[in-house]
Structure formats: C-alpha cells, structure tokens
Amino acid sequence: MSCLAVVPAAGAGKRMGSEVPKQYLQIHGKAVIDWTLETLLSHTAIDTIMVALSPQDERWADTQSAGDSGIQTVVGGRERCHSVLNALDALLKENDQSDWVLVHDAARPCVRHEDISRLIRKAGPCGGGVLGVPVHDTMKRTDAQGRILETVERNRLWHAFTPQMFPLGKLRDSLQAALAAGVTVTDEASAMEWAGLPPLMVEGDATNIKITRPADLSLAAFYLSR
C-alpha cells in the first residue's frame, strides 16, 4: 500500500518551557523533527510528506529535512486541527481522495517502522485506524481543585498515539465538518468518530512517546540511542 503523510509542526510547545519549539530541540545533534521525518520517509510505504509550518517559522530552513525532495510544506493554522486541514487540502491538489494518509506528530521521533507497517496492514481493511497502547495504570477523575472524584474503569481504555491513518478525502471532509459544527477536535480520530466512521485501535510500542515536557526529551534520547 502506498501512503501520504502529514506532519503538523506549527505549534510553539509552550509546556516545554523553552524558547525553541519542541520540534526543533536537539537530540544527539539532530532536531526532533528531523528524527521524525527521517523515520517516516525511509518507510517503504510512504511516498510524500506534507509538513505544516507556522507562518513565523524561522528554523525549518536550517533542518536536515528542508531540502529533501520527498517533503513539501504548507502554512499551518491556529490549532493543530487547522494545520492538518491545510495540509490535507494541499495534498488533494495532486492526489486522489481515496489515497491513504498518515497523520503523525512532529514531536514523536521514536515511532518504529514495525508499528507503522502494522497500522497500515490492520487499519486499511477497516477504513482507518490509530496507533496506541492500552491503559495499564489505575485511572482517576478529579475536580477542579485536584481532589479525586472517582476511579475510572480502565478496561478498554487506550492511550491514543500517532500515526493515525485514514482515506485522504474522508478525513478532510470529516475534519472540515466537525470544525464547522464547533466540535472539539483533539486528534484526527475524533473527527472521524464524530462523522460516524469509528477507527480501529491498533496496539503499538509504548516507546512512541510525544515530547511534551523536558523529561520527555531525555527519554526520547535514550530510546533513539538504542
């Protein structure tokens, strides 16, 4: 199966507490986004990657990926969902609506080829899917002050990761419609769920972490060094 890929990279990553957006932080002398794009582009099923960048981005040009012929860029939007929508619209200018697209976080540099292949193999026949891992910890719900209200049943709960894989046209239409209806879209799967097209959950490796806080950078460096 041949796939396209979208990587939203227009965010500032404020929770990192760094002046440098998290996708441009360095791991072993290479930007986080370079690690991510290198893994995606070296997968045999992925032909083209569309990266959504902030209009104020001044760092992309200095990355190793900027000159790669397999990578295209588009201006991102206010939120992640708007950046993804812009990237999908750009891909639809040269690709078919039935083509498959993988949406992957720029700050998930540890994704493995094996997991991408498993997602493609299992989600394709089901109309789309999401990489993730089952919840193993005890889950609690709190009030606004942090006091525990209840213990949440963890059976069939998952941590949703990326890539998330869907047909290009269906994802664009579902995302566009959800945003127009004022639906909160936290990931691509939530737009597909709202459209009545529930994705398949595909178990991946727990090392596919998203760099969000400073400690995540060290953990990602450890995983990438192995």
pLDDT at 194 over 70: yes
Mean pLDDT for 40-44 is 97
CATH superfamily label, 3-225: Spore Coat Polysaccharide Biosynthesis Protein SpsA; Chain A (3.90.550.10)
Structure tokens, 70: 């397999």
Identity at 152, one-letter amino acid code: V
pTM for this one?
A: 0.94
Residue 16: which pLDDT band, with cuts at 50, 70 and 90? low
Of 19-23, 93-97, 134-138, 189-193, where does mean pLDDT reach its minimum?
A: 19-23
| DSSP state letter for 185 | -
pLDDT at 13 over 70: no
Question: pLDDT of 145-161, one tens digit each?
Answer: 999 999 999 999 999 99
Mean pLDDT for 158-181 is 97
Mean pLDDT for 164-185 is 96
Contact 137, 121 (CB under 8 A): no
| pLDDT for res 14 | 64
Per-residue exposure over 124-141, b if at least 16 CB sit within 10 Å of its own CB, e if not: beeebbbbbbeeeeeeee
Question: pLDDT of 123-136, one tens digit each?
Answer: 999 999 999 999 99
More reliable by pLDDT, 9 or 17: 9
**Per-chain mean pLDDT for the chain:** 95
Distance (Å) of CA 218 to CA 158, 209, 222:
24, 11, 6
In 3-state terms the chain splits into helix, strand, coil percentages (rounded to 5) of 35, 25, 40
| List of residues 6+ apart from 117 with CB closer than 8 A | 43, 45
Residue 204 and residue 104: Cα distance in Å, rounded? 14
Helix (H) or strand (E) holding 164: strand 158-167
Distance (Å) of CA 139 to CA 50, 109, 131, 187:
36, 27, 20, 21
What are residue 6's DSSP bridge partners? 50, 103
Measured torsion, CA atoms of residues 202, 208, 211, 217, in degrees rounded to the nearest 10: 170
